[in-house]
Structure 1
Amino acid sequence: MAHVTALYRYPVKGLSAEPLPALGLSRAAGLAHDREYALALGTTAFDPQAPEPLDKGYFLMLRGNAPLAALATRFEPETGRLTIVQGGQDVLCEDLSTETGREAVERFFESYIGPAAKGRPRLVRADGHKFTDGSVISPAFMRAVSFVNLASVRALEERIGTPLDPLRFRANIYVDGLAPWAELDWVGQEIGIGTVRFRGLARTPRCAAVDVDPVTAARDTTLPRDLKRHFGHVDLGIYLEVLADGTVAAGDAVRMPSPVSGAA
């Protein structure tokens, strides 16, 4: 039976994953504290009082800033504190709810990334806004969660002859027990995971971000090109729209899709 093997959120766009035992999801907001913050390039204009979705190229992210993967981060929503770990040592711990804390984080990344940050990056957040890649498409995509089928990852591994850490694909929900690529047919279909109903919104096209090893920060693969060459597309995983509030936990079963009609 297909089941959930791992769950993650990404409090700061482009920074490391946080494993969670369960995800509390809502139709109105998706996954709380996922891509809640982003580090805007020094040249990026973003108004938190009137937020507009921007392409990921306006922010620090793995496609353009591979060294981000060498950092581990922890975020505590209850206290607002972000901890940055480098080489196994805590190098920064700041309260993101304060101007002083945000400035300290910005100065750290200005030094760490260097000229590619295009000046001092700005740590940005806006109520009700998420810095998901799909945010530029629609509000539904902004609130969507990402899903990866581990059988599809293994199918890619077999073709390229290289083991892959599934965290390269930065999903919220990882599932095993499906046929390879089964998830790509779920667009427009309804599925259930745990107590939550979802609709498949779109396949997830992959860019050069997945070529960065999430542990070593080395850019050591050509996965989008390999996907296209071996499978005729660059997709791995899908975006899911949350249709009903609920919780997804590790071990939860996946209920197979059935067609739905009309918009929710």
Structure 2
Amino acid sequence: MQIAHILRHPLKSHGREALTSVALRSGEAMPWDRVWAVAHEASKADGSSWAHCANFSRGSKAPGLLAISSKLDEANEQLHLTHPNRPNLSFHPDTEADKLIEWVQPLVPQDRALPARIVRLDGRGFTDSDFPSVTLCNLASHRAVEQQLGHALSIHRWRGNLWFDSDEPWIEFDWMGRDIRIGGATIRLRERTDRCLATTANPETGERDADILGTLKHWDHQDFSVRAEVVEGGPITIGDTVKVL
């Protein structure tokens, strides 16, 4: 089993970026993953601590966000976003939040709490778990969902971090509580990732077009991927072997 894809999402629910390698740090989320999030008008999040996803603009409520792609210039902390229905946008999330708020308005429902500001949480990140997590996804499980649904799906529906290829779907659920060695890092699997309506949106168009939650019920659950904590930091590169310890 080997790592096939590495993905990060610098601004939670607003884009994904493919990497060839990453250096994980013990006790932290993936570097730059969900370090920023868009708090809406009713949010109590201020960036001083982790906050539940209900405080933020997200794909389950605004499917159009799923079609955003991103690229982060780490040196300057400039984020570049693209969307099929919006002009390209480059901005600094800490100092130019107003640019993002204006840009994203056509992509969010106007009858819900609207995007208001961007908050930042270094190291910990605004992951969906109440601990700093990295998500591990199995391409075999993804293919099983495709087969059950009857057509191809983008892996970006799952918004995961580390993707490995195997011959056995759902094997990752059997590893719960185990340590996994990948490249120079070790992660410990802590919980399955329960899924929401964000998975029903097509990452190319931002339109809801697939009953992912209903499809997952074929296996008597609505989970995909597992959340893990980094217990030993180190580099991970595409092609690295995944070894269960």
Q: TM-score, normalised by structure 2?
A: 0.93
- Equivalent of residue 122 in structure 1, options 114, 117, 120: 117
CA contact (8 A) 1:71 1:86 kept: yes
Deviation (angstroms), 1:27: 0.7
Aligned to 2:33: 34
Aligned to 1:180: 169
Distance 2:172 2:27 in 1: 24
- Equivalent of residue 68 in structure 2, options 30, 48, 71: 71
Aligned to 1:205: 194
Deviation (angstroms), 1:112: 4.2
Aligned to 2:23: 24
- Secondary structure (helix, strand or coil) at the match of 1:85 reads strand
Q: Say which is worse superposed, 181-190 or 114-123, in terms of deviation.
A: 114-123
Distance 2:184 2:166 in 1: 19
Q: Which has the higher helix share?
A: 1
Distance 2:231 2:24 in 1: 9
Distance 1:46 1:158 in 2: 40
| Residue 166 of structure 1 pairs with residue 166 of structure 2 | no
CA contact (8 A) 1:191 1:197 kept: yes
Percent sequence identity over aligned pairs: 29
Q: Say which is worse superposed, 143-152 or 74-83, in terms of deviation.
A: 74-83
- Secondary structure (helix, strand or coil) at the match of 1:158 reads helix
Q: Say which is worse superposed, 76-85 or 144-153, in terms of deviation.
A: 76-85
- Secondary structure (helix, strand or coil) at the match of 2:129 reads helix
Aligned to 2:237: 249
- Equivalent of residue 113 in structure 1, options 108, 120, 123: 108
Larger radius of gyration: 1
Listed as ranges, the gaps of 5+ residues in structure 2 are none
Aligned to 1:14: 13
Deviation (angstroms), 1:252: 0.3
Deviation (angstroms), 1:93: 1.4
Q: Segments of 4+ in structure 1 off by > 6 A?
A: none
Deviation (angstroms), 1:165: 1.1
CA contact (8 A) 1:107 1:120 kept: no
Distance 1:88 1:19 in 2: 21
Q: Given the superposition, is the C-alpha separation of residues 231 and 248 from structure 1 closer, same or farther in structure 2, using an over 3 Å criterion?
A: same
Q: Given the superposition, is the C-alpha separation of residues 110 and 71 from structure 1 closer, same or farther in structure 2, using an over 3 Å criterion?
A: same
CA contact (8 A) 1:204 1:236 kept: yes
Listed as ranges, the gaps of 5+ residues in structure 1 are 136-140, 259-264
Distance 2:46 2:85 in 1: 35
Q: Given the superposition, is the C-alpha separation of residues 88 and 41 from structure 1 closer, same or farther in structure 2, using an over 3 Å criterion?
A: closer
Distance 2:105 2:148 in 1: 39
Q: Given the superposition, is the C-alpha separation of residues 120 and 189 from structure 1 closer, same or farther in structure 2, using an over 3 Å criterion?
A: closer
Q: Given the superposition, is the C-alpha separation of residues 190 and 128 from structure 1 closer, same or farther in structure 2, using an over 3 Å criterion?
A: closer
> Which letter maps to 2:242?
V
- Equivalent of residue 213 in structure 2, options 208, 224, 241: 224
